[in-house]
Structure 1
Amino acid sequence: MRKPTSHRTRALVALATAAVVATGCSAGSLGSSGGNGEGVTLSFLTGNGPEDIAIAEGLAKAFMADNAGVTVQVEQRPQGTEGDNLVKTRLATGDMADVFVYNSGSLLQALNPAQTLVPVTDQPWTKDLDKTFVDAVSGNGQVFGTPVGTVQAGAVMYNKSVYAQLGLKVPQTWDEFMANNAVIAERTDAAPVIQTYRETWTSQLFVLGDFRNVLQSEPSFPEQYTAGRVKYATSAAALRGFQHQQAVHDAGYMNEDFASATYNDGLRMLAEGTGVHYPILTSAIGELVASHADAVDNIGVFALPGPDAATNGLTVWTPNAAYTPQTTQGPVRDAALRFLAFIASPAGCQAMTEAATPTGPYVVQGCDLPADVPPAVQDIQGYLSRGAASPALEFLSPVKGPNLENLTVEVGSGIRSAEDAAALYDQDVAQQAQQLGLEGW
């Protein structure tokens, strides 16, 4: 993130209205457990990304320092579809960690939280959470999670030095974006657009990050989509994300090794300027700080361009959340709930800030961003401050198919057309909607 315009940024994003809510209240403090947690060991499962691990270890260390007798052991899991399947399997077999980090939003609903997770609705700290985050970790009238990390965007991270060298301006429409790509391809040896399909989850941003533009064209899309009355293959606005990904491939604008390149390869290309645009989640800012600190001031962020400059804006994600499974019982559950409370406190936010550079606003009252956040964060904050941001579809609808990342790899690889992929994704979504028991499917 970037240096804020004021000494302290205290912006909490109210995603439902795409506005930033200034807060000055403090969350309730968490006292030491004393002998209450004597001899308790908590297992804490998180993703295997470097930033995920750093945050989890930072939270565990800070919590243990204030809770004598409680040991928090950090475990790792894969990301993407493999990680999703592992979480579902461990919940189904009763082998889930005492606290685990997973998505908020629609993917949470696929875990059947009312049957598998411990509700935290009656915990006093939930009142200090941003409402849209609360909605994203709720089901059947119950709240289940506490936020881990910050708001992030699905956007285009870009190399500002190449832009300055070529005299390019940040695009606000798709035509402007493709025109910039053409200039980069003609005048440099850099790849105009970085794609990293070795890690399939990174392939989804052309579709998922475009939802702000979909919502501006079809404001009722989330409700119609949830009811099964509108589909990706039949909505011109929703289909555009698939078509844009195909257009980039067909124009030859991607790095030659897109099929084998990893996420870390993509960040390296972006930092070095051997790739110029990387559509990705802006949590990548933290990875850049850790691995390419000398390039951080040279990286900017802009929203995925759509058809209309006047309505262009960011698609934003609420943070992941930490949950406790119902299989965790007795004193261990008590300790797990205290750990969730710590995560949702200013002390927890401070532990996360010290462990990894924040990549967006926190969603807990009283949690401030430091003054020295990277510049790309200021780009994100600019969209939020002027109301040019909307939640991703998964926070407005419980429906999200698990195979999107495989389909977007096929589109981006020239294996499948945008139209075919959208139709197959509609079938994938239908299965999940039926599992959720939604009407109209």
Structure 2
Amino acid sequence: MSMRQGARKGSVVLGTAALVAAMAACSSGGGGDGDQIEITFLTQSDTDNVAAAEALIEAFEAENTDVSVTLETQPGGTEGDNLMKTKLATGEMPDVFHYNSGSLLQALNPDQNLVDLSDQEWADTLIEDMANVVSTDNGLYGVPWGSTQAGAVMYNKPIYEELGLEVPTDWAGFMANNEAILAAGTAVPIIQTYGDTWTSQLFVLGDFANVTAQDPDWAAEYTAHNRFYADDPALQGFENQQAAYEAGFFNEDFASALFDDGLRMLATGEGAHYPMLTGAGANISLNYPDNVEDVGVFALPAQDAADTRLTVWLPNAMYIPNTTEGDQLEAAQRFLAFTQSEEGCRVQTEILTPSGPFTTDACELPEDAAPTLTDVQAYFEAGTTFPALEFLSPIKGPNLEQITVEVGSGIRPAADGAALYDEDVEKQAQQLGLEGW
């Protein structure tokens, strides 16, 4: 899931923030403890989010001595979604909050509940895909926090070099590479790890950009109950998973292998391909540092090379509720601008660990970025990316991972799995009260 010639813009934002801070300090008597503006920042309570938030607050307060930021946390997931809606409805939302972009943001009624940030200096540094998922027709409401990741094929580069293989751009080329790897007999062509059922979904979820290349209106029509997984082009993801299983390309223990097993196989060359979210690159860096340069990324190929796109998961963002006013609003806007400054980008790079390119020109990937990151960035630069479906539609059935395990295990044919998933999403859409369902 364009990016970063914008260190200059980041410096401008930082300089502006520093100037505003100095002026505020003067007008408030020097920014002493008794004169500070106090704001609150809400994020999710998991360890990574808290660590990043604490580092951001520390860096911000060091350069904005007239502002004191208090951190609040709450659970993520469905419980967090409900808490967000309740706090906005009751006027109890903290001055700044961290939350999803895309369809979950739209469920918060941003036009009614959030501050429009279209006039902020950093607003025009966002790539189009990011701007779209934090906006409505009436305004732009969020600043990105973190980097992208892609649903793609992570591959072992030494295997490709040894066998003289080229990165495939269509499905036939991908299958031919798998045949060559199987014939060589030294590695598993495609790693699957259904012991962690969520990992089985990538053949379908990672294919969505290819679906959109063939049917640009698919997400909107799907949400309106006019498109179905049982029909092409969306059926293809299920059919590709079935074809890969029937060809015998999976590891023998695919039914019980875990995500960590898959990463080991990929990093050490036991396996050649692993359809996966590229955020897994951080795990490889941590657990297999000697093999980081051995792992690359390419888009899950479409049947036709002209339709091959990279499916991207965009980062969460930070928002300001419209109950934040006066000095707190000005301080909250400075806090958001700081995320796009040199120091704010440093926190995102060092604490959050990028899993793909940033969605703003203000932040740059480090010069020594792993191939998994630079490979993804090449798709951004070529303009061949598209957001994952969950950023464009609120509908995702809860049983997809069980269905894709069955399709990928030969238990259920692709067509039956896709039809079953259509039934699954229908129930979820009805629970959401969507029109047309």
Class of the TM-score when normalised by the shorter of the 2 chains: 0.7 to 0.9
**How many Å separate the matches in 2 of 1:238 and 1:192?**
24
Shift of 1:151: 2.8
The yes-or-no answer on 1:237 pairing with 2:228 is no
Q: What per-residue deviation string (whole Å, max 9, x for no partner) do you get for residues 256-311 of structure 1?
A: 44444443332222111122211112222233223322211111111101211233
The yes-or-no answer on 1:384 pairing with 2:380 is yes
Partner residue in 1 for 2:181: 184
Partner residue in 2 for 1:87: 80
**How many Å separate the matches in 1 of 2:331 and 2:168?**
49
Q: What per-residue deviation string (whole Å, max 9, x for no partner) do you get for residues 383-434 of structure 1?
A: 2223333333334445444443343233334443322332232233334445
**How many Å separate the matches in 2 of 1:208 and 1:96?**
33
Q: What amino acid maps onto 1:70 in structure 2?
A: S
TM-score (norm 1): 0.79
- Check whether the contact 2:191–2:250 (CA below 8 A) recurs between aligned residues: yes
Shift of 1:126: 3.5
Q: What amino acid maps onto 1:152 in structure 2?
A: Q
Pairwise CA RMSD = 3.7
- Check whether the contact 1:306–1:312 (CA below 8 A) recurs between aligned residues: yes
- Three-state SS of the structure 2 residue aligned to 1:153 is strand
The yes-or-no answer on 1:312 pairing with 2:308 is yes
Partner residue in 2 for 1:167: 164
- Check whether the contact 1:64–1:72 (CA below 8 A) recurs between aligned residues: no
- Check whether the contact 2:187–2:272 (CA below 8 A) recurs between aligned residues: yes
Q: What amino acid maps onto 1:88 in structure 2?
A: D
Stretch deviating more after TM superposition (200-209 or 386-395): 386-395
Q: What amino acid maps onto 2:77 in structure 1?
A: D
- Check whether the contact 1:266–1:278 (CA below 8 A) recurs between aligned residues: yes
The yes-or-no answer on 1:251 pairing with 2:247 is yes
**How many Å separate the matches in 1 of 2:73 and 2:357?**
26
Partner residue in 2 for 1:28: 13
- Check whether the contact 1:129–1:363 (CA below 8 A) recurs between aligned residues: yes
Would the alpha carbon gap of residues 379 and 113 (structure 1) be closer, same or farther in structure 2, given more than 3 Å must change? same
Would the alpha carbon gap of residues 204 and 101 (structure 1) be closer, same or farther in structure 2, given more than 3 Å must change? farther
Partner residue in 2 for 1:80: none
**How many Å separate the matches in 2 of 1:220 and 1:115?**
24
Structure 2 unaligned blocks of 5 or more? 26-30
**How many Å separate the matches in 2 of 1:307 and 1:426?**
22
Q: What amino acid maps onto 1:170 in structure 2?
A: V
Q: What per-residue deviation string (whole Å, max 9, x for no partner) do you get for residues 45-93 of structure 1?
A: 1655x6x66644543442343355735558585xxxxx52232243366
The yes-or-no answer on 1:348 pairing with 2:344 is yes
- Check whether the contact 1:360–1:377 (CA below 8 A) recurs between aligned residues: yes
Shift of 1:437: 5.5
Structure 1 unaligned blocks of 5 or more? 2-10, 14-20, 78-82
Q: What amino acid maps onto 1:171 in structure 2?
A: P
Partner residue in 2 for 1:70: 68
**How many Å separate the matches in 2 of 1:327 and 1:428?**
38
The sequence identity of aligned pairs, in percent, is: 49
Would the alpha carbon gap of residues 404 and 340 (structure 1) be closer, same or farther in structure 2, given more than 3 Å must change? farther
- Three-state SS of the structure 1 residue aligned to 2:3 is strand
**How many Å separate the matches in 1 of 2:229 and 2:309?**
20
Would the alpha carbon gap of residues 324 and 242 (structure 1) be closer, same or farther in structure 2, given more than 3 Å must change? farther
1:112 is aligned, of 108, 121, 129, to: 108
Matches within 5 A, 1:388-427: 388-427=384-423
Shift of 1:239: 0.5
Partner residue in 2 for 1:121: 117
Would the alpha carbon gap of residues 224 and 44 (structure 1) be closer, same or farther in structure 2, given more than 3 Å must change? closer
- Three-state SS of the structure 2 residue aligned to 1:62 is helix
The yes-or-no answer on 1:288 pairing with 2:273 is no
Partner residue in 1 for 2:3: 12
Would the alpha carbon gap of residues 41 and 151 (structure 1) be closer, same or farther in structure 2, given more than 3 Å must change? closer
Q: What amino acid maps onto 1:174 in structure 2?
A: W
Would the alpha carbon gap of residues 145 and 251 (structure 1) be closer, same or farther in structure 2, given more than 3 Å must change? same
Partner residue in 2 for 1:276: 272
- Check whether the contact 1:315–1:389 (CA below 8 A) recurs between aligned residues: yes
- Check whether the contact 2:38–2:70 (CA below 8 A) recurs between aligned residues: no
Would the alpha carbon gap of residues 419 and 47 (structure 1) be closer, same or farther in structure 2, given more than 3 Å must change? farther
- Check whether the contact 1:200–1:405 (CA below 8 A) recurs between aligned residues: yes
Would the alpha carbon gap of residues 24 and 335 (structure 1) be closer, same or farther in structure 2, given more than 3 Å must change? closer
Shift of 1:221: 2.2
Q: What amino acid maps onto 2:288 in structure 1?
A: H
- Three-state SS of the structure 1 residue aligned to 2:144 is strand
